[in-house]
Chains A and B, each alone.
Chain A
């Protein structure tokens, strides 16, 4: 019969049915698979995709985004390489939000949530955004961004009255006044999240904060810069449903005045920059997130506090916690999911002793990032044995000790990788000799699901990289520092790794044939950029000149947009055509 002669994919699945099903599928991988089935499904996905993350802003262009996903409601775009957080990338490197803001303003009518990470934002961009989408924008996150001032924020404050979330965390903002916050205080009554933590904005007035707390009955998360805590008594009283608070400073000499400060009753996520933890003790058992990065606690204080927090799920602190603090954590915080231990500046350190105890005690651990002064194979094996939920593991070996107890760590790393089957992200920053070529080969062989890796000072020759690149089937993004590998080996690895779409390398053996070796990895739709070795002279705290040597960097990435057109002087594009 003639009616049966329809294409198999279209039979029995009218668009109406698919449109009902699609909203339930919002994971990016599922959506990517759907869009590959056939043209019709591609079109339906395009018309209905709600969220897009552009993992690296130069992989595509803003107008391609607008053409393919005109109905997008939530957009996240990331710019500078991660190394920018460690001051390794020139400030003017790139990652401008302008083209994205212009696309949002012109075509993306449904856009409600916007998140820029490590990008350069100008006041004019904020003004364009506020004028075009101010009436509907519900969330704006300028996360580790730079290039704008409080004048740009003023436009946001005055025109974006539907804003539920404003996040400026760790951005470099030129502060001209505190009017931007005043605008928010006067115009907004639905704010839920306000975050200018780790910024240098100090001209904000506590009265505006208090006004916001009074007007916005859903205010649940406030993270500020350095505002005197004693001035916030009224704010805390007004913010009745506040669950998260970070920031503030304790500058008053009369310490007992701080006893009068009462925190809101539902507060369960806290970050304080002080040694005044006793004032936290009464509700410590409610805490599920604690940020002690800027707190002035010693090891003993850590122990006293942590043992009162049985519900703690997220902890960020510095190495001052020590192995003893990790023991207390292992005993008291059985629900711990995320632990980040940043490098402090004192003598106390964290080592394999603490890590072993931690792994045995905190079985729910999903994320562990730690700077250690010493590490052993046995402790890595313990992590492999006990931390079965670990998805993200980052270990950096400090250079304070001349030798470490137990090296090479090849077997320990292998045991960890084989044990932690859910591992998706891995960082190992070691030193020469600690992970041999064999160990690097193990990483290749035993990390089937790892999508991102950061490797520092691993391996001892190109052989290690050859072995590594035979494996890592899921590796999409690779960052390396302090490599002993040649350009030829790097190019080979870039071609071998099947999923690799982004490669960043700093410190490698430059070849004598000036980048010809690197060009071996050149392909259509792949950009290769170099930042040659730089010398940066800055002044330190005591006004002395400090000379910083930055080794050369390579950045190679897949792109549909062709080479960049907005290079600063410090960046060179390797174009095989030239």
Chain B
């Protein structure tokens, strides 16, 4: 299975990667890919639609317009996902056209088990991502009303958990014991614990 999607290095991780080990590069790449996937998977579908269409509505180059026109006449309308009925899906021909202009690049979005590829300029892509992150915090607030923390903190927390290491889960019973012990430690215990 070959990966035919291109990752956009929004977080500037490629520069840092040169000195890192092979495994760390692998981890970072997977992490940023997962982050992107994870971030966008939380988006409101209506939000995605509106942002993409607004992004594509202001094409900076002639090539872009042409590629859009080519793509907006889908040869088999049934193939477009029901979630994005009005949006063009790039055909291979359109993608070739984009290689002329370095200002635009393919943006791949994995959403709910579907894949869509769009040609967007870099700044539009960054706007989309910002909206995605805001979209997450909105979703989280609406999900659990008991969680009464400001949205920026929530956002930060989510970004941190998305950025987390390989999740090695601990057995529930042991986890509870270690947490209780942490509590007791902070309550001035007379004994010194080696671990």
Contacts and interface: CB of A to CB of B under 8 A. Distances in A.
Contacts of B42: 535
B173 A488 contact: no
A346 B23 contact: no
Interface stretch (B50-58, B70-78, B177-185): B177-185
A348 B194 contact: yes
A523 B144 CA distance: 40
A86 B168 CA distance: 9
B177 A275 contact: no
Contacts of B165: 399
A297 B171 contact: no
Given A514-B114, A515-B113, A537-B147, A347 B24 contact: no
Nearest to B143: A537
DSSP class of A's interface residues: helix, strand, loop or mixed? loop
Chain B interface size band reads 35 or more
Nearest to B179: A541
A109 B73 CA distance: 71
A347 B195 contact: yes
Contacts of B114: 512, 514
Interface size class of A (residues with CB under 8 A): 35 or more
A168 interface: no
B113 A512 contact: yes
Interface string A403-447: 100010000000000000000000001011110000000000000
A431 B172 contact: no
B23 A403 contact: yes
Contacts of A1: none
B149 interface: yes
Given A293-B177, A488-B1, A515-B113, A399 B166 contact: yes
A296 B191 contact: yes
Contact of A318 (B147, B166, B183, B195): B195
Interface string B158-195: 10011001101111111101110111000000110111
Interface in A513-527: 514-515
A398 B168 contact: yes
Contact of A541 (B22, B24, B27, B182): B182
Contacts of B162: 549
A402 B24 contact: yes
Contacts of B174: 293, 318, 342-343
Given A87-B169, A320-B195, A346-B195, 17 more contacts: A86-B171, A87-B175, A170-B172, A296-B193, A298-B194, A299-B194, A345-B195, A348-B195, A399-B165, A433-B22, A434-B23, A511-B113, A512-B110, A512-B113, A537-B147, A546-B157, A546-B161
Interface of B: 1, 21-24, 26-27, 30, 38, 41-42, 110, 113-115, 140, 143-144, 147, 149, 154, 157-158, 161-162, 165-166, 168-175, 177-179, 181-183, 190-191, 193-195
Interface of A: 83, 85-88, 170, 198, 253, 275, 293-294, 296-301, 318-320, 342-348, 371, 396, 398-399, 402-403, 407, 429, 431-434, 457, 461-462, 482, 486, 488-489, 509-512, 514-515, 533, 535, 537, 541, 544-549
5 nearest A-B residue pairs (beta carbon):
A298-B194, A346-B195, A320-B195, A86-B169, A514-B113
